[in-house]
Amino acid sequence: MNIYLRIWGDWACFTRPEMKVERVSYPVITPSAARGVLEAILYKPQFRWRIHRIAVRKPIQFLSFRRNEVKSRLSLRLFSLNAGRGAGEFPVSPEQAALAECLLTDEDHTQRNTLALRDVEYVIEASMELTQLAGCLSQRSRTKINGDGDSIGKYMAMFRRRAEKGQCFTQPSLGCREFPANFELATPQEMQIIPNLNVDSDFGLMLYDVFDLDVLPGKNAKHQVPRPRVSFFPSRLKDGIVVVPEWRQLKKSLGVGFL
């Protein structure tokens, strides 16, 4: 049972991790970004999203712009200390205490370039897979996490209702938070792309995900916290479609070094 979701927006930036300072976007949305959009609408630890295909429904267009960005960020720990909550717990210097009060953007900024995408539209084909947490007992109440049972049909119906009403837990974004994504349910027919809309291209290695998707936070959160595990896959755009490999096959191909 697959779900189809159409997403679109004015701007998008799916940053390549190998770029350290300047933001450079992939030509199309990555599987991890697509998963993030679906999880923003509905996420439960009892299931995991599986991305199958991504249809690129508009021409790939890049746009470069430069912005002033701050180099530092406010420290919540120092701010709490300066506000009198926890005084004496952390030794800080006068410079750190001053930084906790305010951040002077005129003195602490730099110009960074961003190579982003403009006017994007995708259709995501995805499905759900139940995890080991489906039907498990809650550690607090020792009762089932969901009393009426965990099933793919149940969660698919929940997702459809939320998507039809435009409901989401957090605003879906197209790579960066400042690029919000609009979404609506789609049909399998919308996976068909206008011929020659984009030239068939080999994008090389693309980011698959930044976590080991077999490790999910759940009952034993201290022992099941996903650690960063960056994975890549050979991506290719053919007839306007990017086919995403299955996670377990990709993980097996990565070898022992990934485990």
User: Could you tell me if 59 and 98 lie in one domain?
Assistant: no
User: Could you tell me if 156 and 95 lie in one domain?
Assistant: no
User: Could you tell me if 142 and 250 lie in one domain?
Assistant: yes
Instruction: Tell me how far apart the terminal alpha carbons of the chain are, to the nearest angstrom.
Output: 30
3-class secondary structure, 81: helix
| β strands within 98-211, DSSP E | 109-130, 173-174, 176-180, 182-185, 201-211
- pTM, whole model, 2 decimals? 0.80
User: Could you tell me if 144 and 210 lie in one domain?
Assistant: yes
Full domain range(s) for residue 81: 72-107
User: Could you tell me if 152 and 224 lie in one domain?
Assistant: yes
Number of domains the chain contains: 2
* pLDDT tens per residue across span 182-229: 999 999 999 999 998 999 999 999 999 888 777 765 444 444 556 678
* Last residue of one domain, picked from the residues 107, 133, 158: 107
User: Could you tell me if 173 and 139 lie in one domain?
Assistant: yes
User: Could you tell me if 11 and 122 lie in one domain?
Assistant: yes
Report the C-alpha gap between 70 and 106 in whole angstroms: 9
Report the C-alpha gap between 159 and 125 in whole angstroms: 14
User: Could you tell me if 97 and 122 lie in one domain?
Assistant: no
Report the C-alpha gap between 255 and 215 in whole angstroms: 17
Q: Are 25 and 115 a contacting pair, CB within 8 Å?
A: yes
* pLDDT tens per residue across span 120-178: 999 999 999 988 777 765 544 444 444 456 788 999 999 999 999 999 999 999 999 99
